[in-house]
Amino acid sequence: MKKIVFFNTKGGTGKTTLCYNYGWYLAEKRNKRILFLDFDPQVNLVQALQKKLFPRSGHNLENLIVNYIKKNDINFSDYVVKINDKIDLIPSTNNISLVEEYLTDYLIKKAYTDNKPYQAMDRNLLIKEILDNYINQEGYDYIIMDSQPNYSLLSTTSLVYAENVVLVLRPEYFSFIDINYLNKIIKNLEDKFGVKIKIACVIINAFEKRKRTTEKIAERFVNKYSDRFHIIKQKIRFLSCYQLSISMDKNPVFISFPKSEASKDLLKAFREADEVIDNLQG
């Protein structure tokens, strides 16, 4: 089982759209069994997958965490929404952001009861323990995660749990700053948790070929970082089909607009990404 998180510390890069389409691509084009997880309180990934309202209120990622801590009986299948025969989702809501406060309160009380100090990292380890205990036994080929675009409990947990990162960048100046910041985050997490977090590949998204500045920045980025990261050669152009396919059909672009330039870009980029991701440790 491979675990991959689509990540950037900067919002607006299009990581959720690529995360959504990549999971569908693995299921539809490669016949893989997929579980989606959404660690972003905006829950845009969940919204993209919702063809209709999920009927089982209360069965979501945050309540799975709370019920585990309370030692309540858990039937894991109750928390899983079947999108189709190859794609599952553990939905989350905007309340996922409250998990951080809940876990902090829980560990403070536990420290008092046990007369034992607990650290902030224990919150990450507890969430990881829950995911390991339930998800790892379900026979998925891939766990595909969307993450919060910042340095928080949810985003760092997604990195520690996945250990494999697809970095989504827009070709703009601040991307260079984001890379340096992300490297510091990863180094800190590796030292703290004793894990090895790998940036599997970098996808340049929202590329506007007609803008000379965009092309120059993308070229500079490749020249500077190609010896450190696998940068996908096929850039994803800034095209409306990506959002239309989700907002209109709740489908990936290669199903809604199979002959579009957007679909061609995406499939070519994903096939190249496969060459790297297939060799990741599962």
pLDDT tens-place string over residues 98-143: 898 999 999 999 999 999 899 999 999 999 999 999 998 889 999 9
Mean local confidence (pLDDT), 250-268: 90
Strands 87-90 and 81-82: antiparallel
Amino acid at 186: I
Spell out the residues 6+ positions from residue 239 whose beta carbon is closer than 8 angstroms to its own: 260, 261, 262, 265
| Superfamily for domain range 2-275 | P-loop containing nucleotide triphosphate hydrolases (3.40.50.300)
pTM summary value: 0.93
57/154 Cα distance (integer angstroms)? 22
Listed by start position, the domains of the chain span 2-275
Are 83 and 49 a contacting pair, CB within 8 Å? yes
256/31 Cα distance (integer angstroms)? 19
Look at residue 21 and tell me whether its pLDDT is greater than 90. yes
pLDDT of residue 54: 55
